[in-house]
């Protein structure tokens, strides 16, 4: 009887030892996995050091310890930490065709510098719209050129949001053109309301950020009507600047913003465009005002010809940042 009890106790003893052993093993391996996920380089370092010691022992036994140790004690070159790309109004692929607004504004004043490249900026205001914007995007893709879209916040809806995402993903620039585009709110009695303008700029930018994500930000702002249409913009300009906005006008157009007197045919739009080039100072940059709002079919039809005009004259196609 006593014998049986003893052997049972022994069995229980062995089982407990084994269980503790298994728990310890699981614990240690769990810790290793956790530690590797937290600090993979350090674990790798430990492994490398282990490997080095092993190979030192090996080479020592071969009599080449000094040569090997010298070469192996050299620090493994550290990987350069990747500098995080600052949030901006275009994707990384578009970095190479991006130009700073301040520089372009300076270049617009002219004169032509034959030693510098010629750059054209196709700009589309008042979008997105579900009928014109996709057509404009298709034409730009077909001709492998890029543009800057000046968006109106209240036209970014669940329906059109994907178009803005497509603009961003396709390497175009995203800019702000107010939230309401309502002159009565932005310029009541033709007087700029600096606070209303700033609020609309921020509201639109925040909306863009909400679905384009942390990598997105934009500084580029265009006044509805352009700065040339309004007096006393100084207060507004300085408010915008404080919130990291900078404004951009244009020095060419296809006339599609002229309401009833807008060109009705492609040829008329091209004629208007050619005429507009003579109005502003001659310079290395052309910033063309066009619209991708829903009623701008003449622009959609004229766009391939406008692109051809600048390709024939060896212009680069830039976007504004
Ligand atoms: Zn507009």
pLDDT in tens, 195-233: 999 999 999 999 999 999 999 999 999 999 999 999 999
Give SS3 for 5.
helix
Find the length of the chain: 321
Report CA 52 to chain centroid distance, whole Å: 45
Query: Taking all residues of the chain, what is their mean pLDDT, rounded to a whole number?
Result: 85
The CA 124 to ligand 1 mean position distance, Å, reads 9
Distance between CA atoms of residues 90 and 148, nearest Å: 9
Residue 21: pLDDT band by 50, 70, 90 thresholds? low
Distance between CA atoms of residues 99 and 54, nearest Å: 55
Indicate whether 33 pLDDT > 80.
Answer: no
Listed residue (162, 99, 121) closest to 315, CA to CA: 121
Segments in 124-265 forming alpha helices (H): 132-142, 161-169, 183-186, 194-212, 234-242
Residue 144: pLDDT band by 50, 70, 90 thresholds? very high
CB 281 within 8 A of CB 108: yes
The CA 278 to ligand 1 mean position distance, Å, reads 23
Q: What percent of the chain has pLDDT over 70?
A: 75
pLDDT at residue number 83? 79
The CA 153 to ligand 1 mean position distance, Å, reads 11
pLDDT in tens, 39-92: 434 434 434 444 444 444 344 443 333 434 444 445 555 666 667 899 999 999
The CA 209 to ligand 1 mean position distance, Å, reads 21
pLDDT at residue number 63? 37
The CA 259 to ligand 1 mean position distance, Å, reads 12
Domain spans, the chain: 2-72, 92-320
The CA 181 to ligand 1 mean position distance, Å, reads 7
The CA 176 to ligand 1 mean position distance, Å, reads 10
Distance between CA atoms of residues 222 and 249, nearest Å: 6
Indicate whether 16 pLDDT > 90.
Answer: no
User: Mean per-residue pLDDT for 159-173?
Assistant: 98
The CA 287 to ligand 1 mean position distance, Å, reads 15
The CA 91 to ligand 1 mean position distance, Å, reads 24
Residue 219: HSE in the Cβ half-sphere, 13 Å Cα cutoff: 17
pLDDT in tens, 182-192: 999 999 999 99
CB 257 within 8 A of CB 291: yes
CB 238 within 8 A of CB 271: no
The CA 174 to ligand 1 mean position distance, Å, reads 14
CATH number for 92-320: choose from 3.40.630.30, 3.20.20.370, 3.40.50.720, 2.70.70.10.
3.20.20.370
* Nearby residues of 38 by Cβ (< 8 Å), 6 or more positions away: none
CB 187 within 8 A of CB 178: no
């Amino acid at each position: 009887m006593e014998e049986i009890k003893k052997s049972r106790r022994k069995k229980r003893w062995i089982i407990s030892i084994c269980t503790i052993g298994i728990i310890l093993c699981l614990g240690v391996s769990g810790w290793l996995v956790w530690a590797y996920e937290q600090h993979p380089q350090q674990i790798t370092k430990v492994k490398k050091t282990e490997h080095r010691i092993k190979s030192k022992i090996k080479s020592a036994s071969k009599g080449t310890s000094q040569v090997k140790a010298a070469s192996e004690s050299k620090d493994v070159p550290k990987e350069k930490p990747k500098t995080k790309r600052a949030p901006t109004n275009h994707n990384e692929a578009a970095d190479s065709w991006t130009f700073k607004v301040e520089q372009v504004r300076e270049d617009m004043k002219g004169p032509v510098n034959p030693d510098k490249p010629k750059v054209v900026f196709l700009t589309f205001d008042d979008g997105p719209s579900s009928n014109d914007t996709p057509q404009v995007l298709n034409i730009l893709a077909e001709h492998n050129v890029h543009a800057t879209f000046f968006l109106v916040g209240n036209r970014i809806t669940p329906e059109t949001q994907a178009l803005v995402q497509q603009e961003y993903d396709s390497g175009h620039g995203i800019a702000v053109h107010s939230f309401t585009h309502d002159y009565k709110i932005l310029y009541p009695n033709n007087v700029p309301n600096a606070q209303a303008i700033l609020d609309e700029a921020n509201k639109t930018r925040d909306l863009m950020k909400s679905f384009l994500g942390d990598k997105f930000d934009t500084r580029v702002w265009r006044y509805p009507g352009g700065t040339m249409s309004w007096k006393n913009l100084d207060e507004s300009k300085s408010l915008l600047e404080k919130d990291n906005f900078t404004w951009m006008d244009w020095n060419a157009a296809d006339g599609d913003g002229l309401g009833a007197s807008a060109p009705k045919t492609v040829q008329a739009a091209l004629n208007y465009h050619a005429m507009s080039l003579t109005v502003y100072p001659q310079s290395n940059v052309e910033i063309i005002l066009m619209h991708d709002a829903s009623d701008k079919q003449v622009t959609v039809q004229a766009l391939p010809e406008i692109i051809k005009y600048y390709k024939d004259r060896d212009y680069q196609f830039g976007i504004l940042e």
